[in-house]
Structure 1
Amino acid sequence: METTARDFTRNASKYPAAAERGERITVTRNGRPVAVLSPVTEESVPDHPADPMGDDDIPVFHSGSRTC
């Protein structure tokens, strides 16, 4: 579901009810998304990634002598 910031303000009570039913609401201002209201799930979501991200072949940089 998508709504404008103005409509979100005018009808603020209906959007938490929609999120509670499982809907995800994107709030836009001047056609650009500015916020998302989504349902709370029982799944635990970490505040930061717990595992390394990206490839396993991460370059290692050493300080000291430089070779080209």
Structure 2
Amino acid sequence: MLRCLDGREEQASHFEVATALFGRRLVSAADWHDSAFRYQTRRLVRDGLKMVERGYRQLLRARRRFS
């Protein structure tokens, strides 16, 4: 999520962010519109923004099980 947000802050497109995350061989410009990588990148950006805005505290509240 942080890498996606860093890319977006640098004015990179979702396609450019996905290419940096998943690699040029996997992310195809021709198939971008219906690509699973497109949806995954959008979800990471969206969830990252939520974490930065208000949700990062949830990480601290995670319940841990000790055995």
TM-score by length of 2: 0.24
Higher relative contact order (CA 8 A, sep 6+): 2
Q: Which has the larger radius of gyration?
A: 1
Give the strand-richer structure, 1 or 2. Answer: 1
Give the helix-richer structure, 1 or 2. Answer: 2
